[in-house]
Amino acid sequence: MFSRRLTSILKIAAWSLVGLLLLFLAAGLYLNALSRTLPDLRVDPDALVPARTSVVYAADGSVLAEWHGEEDRTVVPFEQIPEAMRDAVVAVEDERFYSHKGVDMEAVGRALKVNAEQGAYAQGGSTITQQVVKLLFTDGERTLDRKIREALLAFELETQAEKDQVLETYLNLVYFGEGCYGVEAAAERYFGHPASSLTLAESALLAGVIRSPGRYSPIDDPEAAVERRDLVLRLMREQGHISAAQEREAKAEELVLAQPTQIPAVAPYFVEYVKQTLIDRLGPEKVFEGGLRVQTTLDPLLQKRAEEAGRAFLSAEGDPDVAIVTIDHASGDIVAMVGGSDFAADQFNLAVQGRRQPGSAFKPFVLVTALMQGYKPTDTFSAAPYEVKVKDGVWKVQNYENAITAGTMSLAAATNWSVNAVYARLVIQVGAEEVVKTAHAMGITTQLDANPAIALGGLTTGVSPLEMASAYGTIANDGTLVEPGAIVRVCDDRGEVLWEPERAQSEAIPVGVARQTAMMLHDVVERGTGQAARIAQWSAGKTGTTQEYRDAWYVGYSGDLCTAVWVGHAEGQVPMTDVHGIRVTGGSFPARIWQRFMSYAVPQHAKGRQAQPAAPPPASAGQAATGAPSAQVMVNICADTFQKANPRCPNTVEMYLDPGHVPGQVCTTH
């Protein structure tokens, strides 16, 4: 009986020994296979290759921004990293770093015990060496296979590299939050100086951030960051890295953070718009790591004047926000963009992302639709308040501040004075669906609902200044829509072109319609609601004011430039009934801002270019409003009688008309 038991025990022991031998053999083979994939840091100094910085240029070649993106990293040698920083990281991340062989079995055992007690993953046992391996060679997934591979690679790494080399690599790789990878980028971001100048307190704070950059962010939660810093200092004292006096002195040091330096000094909203465009096109990896050289359309001189124009009128505390977009309508180049007053406080780009009600600035799309359908500037409509049944009930329309309550008015005069009742009647006749088609064809990209209120700018979503500048640019460009864009070309750091956008063009509206519309919008400036926007050069434009003065617009063009100005409160629909003592309409601050900016921008932009005519040529070279060839003539019309004006007529409109539509009688009323 005893011999049989002994034989059984020996067999079990033998099979166990065989199993262990096979296990060791398998582990050896696995380790051997892994070792072939591990770079030798002693002979491969480029095993850590930092992401290449991308550079953004303005149209004049000046640098607008440098992007480090998600891996803002500058590699620094071990000697330039203060001893306090090295000790702080070792103290809080891997106490036995200089004694273990890549894996700390004591830490692993402690982590297993804590996780078992809590029934979840609560603590890790990874050493600094294992974290380097994870950052360089594994996918970071929490699987048993990955942990085994990580441990074996850590053992292998420590046979190839010195401890200081491993720690140097770690400090140049690890993430410190705020897009900062490596201690150099973190020191610059948080404290405004290089890693070599870090104090003991600063070193302890950065070391504490590593475990959870979100939880211990000194920017988002400075109290938590300081509490974590003090823990690191205590550990450093307990482990013999610093004295008790050094700990007390460091804990007493006030946390002083540097201001962000990543905000571009010039056109931050424009730069962010370019960045998002490139991310959508090329992907974030290319943008932040590919060393791109991005040539943009921005004119720094015009950008500076656009920002100054907004501040000149609205810069006091509590003032409304201003958004400005300027496009070279012939090329589609965005040459200036003001998306807000403080990019550091709010990155929401009002010029591109802000979609607000345009008010009467949307009327030109109704006007263009009507002209394409054969309506004439001299066609008359009742200007009395208007009611009409629509699918949602009864649509009631009053004129601006109820100033006009009766009488008839020409389409030209109604455009000059932005008479709502006339345009309400007009949209019912031409069809809201057709107005939607026209607006989209001219450059409005936002979804539009075909409601009659569209005639007065009553939109479901609203439109952006970029869209409005582009669409008005179609009128300025003789009816041709040129897709707006901010990027000329993108090259890599070797000069190879990666992307050169082609601006799509389309014949949106007939040439004659565009020119007739241009002349009518010119009259808005000369004798209508846009008079505050007059400049020395010929110009055309339209004002827009929404209900309760919540949004105010002026959109217009002159020379090669089309500019949209929006004024309102970014946070929502806030009435602007008392801003510097006035109610804000499109003809007030928006028109004045436009006038101040374009007075400089038009002649500046024209330098070195072919001189622009004083006004659009008559439609004889193209087509009249109906699309048929016609030699038009300019006629001075009395806006009250719709007859030829005499010198005593108080309200007149200069219009280009087909000869057959010129009134035969001179005004006898005045």
At 118, is the pLDDT very low, low, confident or very high (cuts 50, 70, 90)? Answer: very low
The pLDDT value recorded for residue 328 is 97
> Comparing 504 with 6, which gets the higher pLDDT?
504
Nearest to 69 by CA among 52, 47, 46: 52
Nearest to 365 by CA among 447, 475, 446: 475
Q: Which residues face 387 on adjacent strands?
A: 396
Question: What average pLDDT does this structure show over 477-505?
Answer: 93
Asked if residue 254 lies in contact with residue 242, where contact means CB atoms within 8 angstroms, the answer is no
pLDDT at 450 over 80: yes
Question: What average pLDDT does this structure show over 226-232?
Answer: 97
370-381: pLDDT as tens digits: 999 999 998 989
Query: What is the bridge-based pairing of β-strands 54-57 and 293-296?
Result: parallel
611-668: pLDDT as tens digits: 455 455 544 333 333 333 345 566 776 756 667 888 887 666 555 555 766 777 888 8
Task: Give burial (CB, 10 Å; 0-12/13-18/19+) of 632.
Answer: buried
The pLDDT value recorded for residue 158 is 76
| Eight-class DSSP state of 193 | S
Say which range, 44-48, 289-293, 436-440, has the weakest mean pLDDT: 44-48
Say which range, 80-89, 189-198, 631-640, has the weakest mean pLDDT: 631-640
Query: 3-class DSSP state for residue 271?
Result: helix
Which distant-in-sequence residues (6+ apart) come within 8 Å of 147 by Cβ? Answer: none
This prediction has a pTM of: 0.65
**To the nearest whole percent, how much of the chain has pLDDT over 90?**
50
At 507, is the pLDDT very low, low, confident or very high (cuts 50, 70, 90)? Answer: very high
Which distant-in-sequence residues (6+ apart) come within 8 Å of 165 by Cβ? Answer: 41, 42, 78
pLDDT at 440 over 80: yes
| Eight-class DSSP state of 470 | H
- Residue with the two structure tokens 């609203």: 462
314-335: pLDDT as tens digits: 999 999 999 999 999 999 999 9
Say which range, 245-259, 411-425, 600-614, has the weakest mean pLDDT: 600-614
At 558, is the pLDDT very low, low, confident or very high (cuts 50, 70, 90)? Answer: very high
Tokens in use for 5? 């038991």
User: Any idea where the domains of the chain sit in the sequence?
Assistant: 2-37, 77-251, 324-617, 632-670
568-577: pLDDT as tens digits: 999 888 999 9
Which distant-in-sequence residues (6+ apart) come within 8 Å of 378 by Cβ? Answer: 410, 411, 412, 637, 642, 655, 657, 661, 663
Question: What average pLDDT does this structure show over 548-563?
Answer: 96
Asked if residue 125 lies in contact with residue 110, where contact means CB atoms within 8 angstroms, the answer is yes
Roughly what angle, to the nearest 10 degrees, separates helices 465-476 and 511-527? 110
CA angle 565, 568, 569 (to 5 degrees): 140
Q: What are phi and psi of 154, to 5 degrees?
A: -65, -45
Correct CATH for 77-251 of 2.170.140.10, 3.90.78.10, 1.10.260.40, 1.10.3810.10: 1.10.3810.10
Q: How far apart are CA 623 and CA 650, in angstroms?
A: 32
- Residue with the two structure tokens 């499109």: 586
The pLDDT value recorded for residue 181 is 81
Q: How far apart are CA 428 and CA 395, in angstroms?
A: 11
The pLDDT value recorded for residue 18 is 57
Asked if residue 374 lies in contact with residue 411, where contact means CB atoms within 8 angstroms, the answer is no
Tokens in use for 99? 């004694």
Q: How far apart are CA 603 and CA 559, in angstroms?
A: 8
pLDDT at 117 over 70: no
The pLDDT value recorded for residue 509 is 97
- Residue with the two structure tokens 């870090």: 198
Q: What is the chain's mean pLDDT, rounded?
A: 83
At 83, is the pLDDT very low, low, confident or very high (cuts 50, 70, 90)? Answer: very high
Question: Given this structure, which CATH class describes domain 324-617?
Answer: alpha beta
Asked if residue 525 lies in contact with residue 540, where contact means CB atoms within 8 angstroms, the answer is yes
Asked if residue 586 lies in contact with residue 554, where contact means CB atoms within 8 angstroms, the answer is yes
Say which range, 93-107, 110-124, 396-410, has the weakest mean pLDDT: 110-124
